[in-house]
Amino acid sequence: MSESRSVVITGASRGLGLASARHLYHRGWHVVAAMRSVEKGMAALREATGAAENDPRLVGVQLDLCDSESVTAAAAAIRDLIGVPYAVVHNAGISAAGAVEETPMDLWQKMFATHLFGPVALTRELLPGMRAAGRGRIVLISSAGGVRGMPVISAYSAAKGALERWGESLAGEIAPYGLGVTILVTGVFDTEIITDEGTLTFRDFDGPYGRHHRTIDRRGRAAMRIANPPEKFAVRLGRALDGKAPYTRRSVGVDAAALLVSNRLLPTKAMHQVVRVAMGLPKYKAMRPATPRLGPTARAMIFAAKVLPESVMRRIVLMLMKIRPPMTPAAPAAGAPVIDKSPDSITEDGHRGEESPIHD
């Protein structure tokens, strides 16, 4: 690389962000690591890179994407440290598992703040300088959940899907100024976010979606055993930052590549079934409550009501009533007392013609 370019990486204290910061630092980039805990994160980065504490090519900035004031302060700190960055990598993210009914609304708000609202706010702060410089790249880290809505991680899928749509829109706006957008769709990587400790869970294994959770949990743990190393992602990110296309969307990992190809070639109904089978979910209507079976006469009447005009159905009902008149009360058994309900009958208390206080 002929010149030292600068890159801002959010969520650089661990996982894909840390691996990417280490890789780019060794390639000669000026790395700004944006993270919530700067002291802890920078200690991990210096250990991973071998950088000295006062190395100007590796600096940390405090950033909480859920706090608008923190985003504004981080953008100001970035400008003070390196001026206008060449690239911004929106890598920070959180993971959560739970069905829609189980997931609280504040989790949805936190998910969108982390994956969409925060990145949008930080980009808005940095874009004027990048646009004036006439070069640079915005990189958005997506995943399988951003390609297809995945069961039991709906909040995460919705946020990642929204991130991708924003990236597509942004690319059209900034391309005339010499800036590009890259979306990297990641597969399964061996990072903390795929572990129990790195994922918020709202799953009720004894609730109505317990069967879903047990199956998906087993298959997810099996997938973790073949997860890709973070270093593989870092190399692919380095290539993406060298790209010149105004907009590009690439997969990182064999599993992500297979999903993108399938989603492009198969119709929506087929992809729904592919996801269902891959996650081991029951078939359509397999878990609905049992309903009583109707006899042939009732089924015939329901079908007729759907296809025949109302006037015809009315005549049929009247005809059936003539054929089978309403049942009349049975005659009293021999020896049973006969109750006279005529107005002149004498009630049990000896009064004639009084209205009973008990009504039907």
Catalytic residue numbers, as ranges: 156
CA 248 to chain centroid: 23
Choose among 191, 188, 197, 88: nearest CA to 143: 188
Burial of 204: CB neighbours in 10 Å, binned 0-12, 13-18, 19+: middle
Which two three-digit tokens encode residue 119?
Answer: 């990145």
List of residues 6+ apart from 227 with CB closer than 8 A: 188, 189, 190, 194
Which two three-digit tokens encode residue 39?
Answer: 């002291």
Instruction: Let me know how long the chain is.
Output: 360
DSSP calls for 51-99: --TT-TTEEEEE--TT-HHHHHHHHHHHHHHHSS-SEEEE----EEEB-
| Contact between 30 and 5 (Cβ < 8 Å) | yes
Angle at the Cα of 174 from the Cα atoms of 173 and 175, rounded to 5 degrees: 100
List of residues 6+ apart from 52 with CB closer than 8 A: 46
